[in-house]
Amino acid sequence: MNGVHDMGGMDGFGPVVSEQNEPVFHAAWEGRMYALANFVVGSAGFNIDEHRHAIERIPPARYLASSYYERWLAAIETLLVEHGVVTREELLAKQDASIDPALIANAVSTKGPAPVKEKPGAKAPRARYAKGSRVRARNLNPSGHTRLPRYVRGKAGVVARDWGVFVFPDTNAHHAGTKPQHCYSVSFEARELWGKSASRERLYIDLWEDYLEPLASKSKAKASKRKMAGKAGGR
């Protein structure tokens, strides 16, 4: 989904400020939340992709106004309620009366999709690309979870490495199958991404095969141009 979480390349957040002697957790509840989320994602059978997607589904204004562990809290409450592990009423019953009930298990705007059982026996496909393959990140705008950020969509890059086969987050987050496929390190020139003739910068990002389409190699592109020119000349 084209959410506010997909913030690579956005402006306006100001300088990066580092905290000296920063504690691991800034309050006891942050540590409890961190541990609880890690535990419950396993014990309740949630997967990491749907956990990430539950964070992405927090409405943009609230996402930006929440701290990191507040976003985790909202996501875990949402998943627990959506999966029927707890009910909103049970959560409310445990709460202090001073808490705004609208916050609880209502932290997410869009409802998650109904779980779909994965078909067993899906085999990992062969790699379509190899180191040096020229590729373009596809211009995909799914309404669900994706790990294809907006800032690389439609951009041309080169496969730097094949990391092997991984579960596909776009389907796995929705319990629509693990769709195992190759995931590649793809490198992009800063100029291709940001349009400026910047100093020497290069971005490496890990992209699943379904996010990519092949680009003709430079020599092939030239050859096909010559062919076209030849055809035109022959008329």
Q: Which of residues 95-124 bind other proteins (CB under 8 A)?
A: 95-96, 98-99, 103-104
Ranges within 163-182 binding other proteins (CB under 8 A): 163, 166, 169
| Among 50, 54, 58, 70, interactor with other proteins by CB under 8 A | 70
Total residues belonging to the chain: 235
Dihedrals phi, psi of 213, to nearest 5 degrees: -130, 150
The 10 Å Cβ neighbour count of residue 186 is 25
| Among 155, 159, 208, 212, interactor with other proteins by CB under 8 A | 208
Least distance to other proteins from the beta carbon of 171, Å?
A: 14
What is the number of alpha carbons within 13 Å of residue 195 lying toward its C-beta? 2
Closest to other proteins by CB, 138 vs 202, is 202
- Tell me the angle at which helices 68-82 and 28-43 cross, rounded to the nearest 10 degrees: 30
- Contact between 213 and other proteins per CB under 8 A: no
In contact, 10 and 67? CB cutoff 8 Å: no
In contact, 174 and 47? CB cutoff 8 Å: no
Ranges within 2-61 binding other proteins (CB under 8 A): 5-11, 13-19, 22, 24-36, 38-40, 43-44, 52, 55
- Contact between 224 and other proteins per CB under 8 A: no
Which one, of 126, 125, 145, 129, lies nearest residue 186 by Cα?
129
Q: Count interface residues toward other proteins (CB under 8 A).
A: 76
Choices 111-119, 127-135, 200-208, 226-234 (CB under 8 A): range interacting with other proteins: 200-208
Closest to other proteins by CB, 16 vs 232, is 16
Binding string to other proteins for residues 131 to 160, with x set by CB under 8 A, is what? Answer: ----------------xxx-x---------
Least distance to other proteins from the beta carbon of 143, Å?
A: 16
In sequence order, what are the residues at sequence separation of 6 or more whose Cβ sits closer than 8 angstroms to the Cβ of residue 150? Answer: 2, 6, 8, 9
Dihedrals phi, psi of 156, to nearest 5 degrees: -95, 135
Closest to other proteins by CB, 175 vs 188, is 188
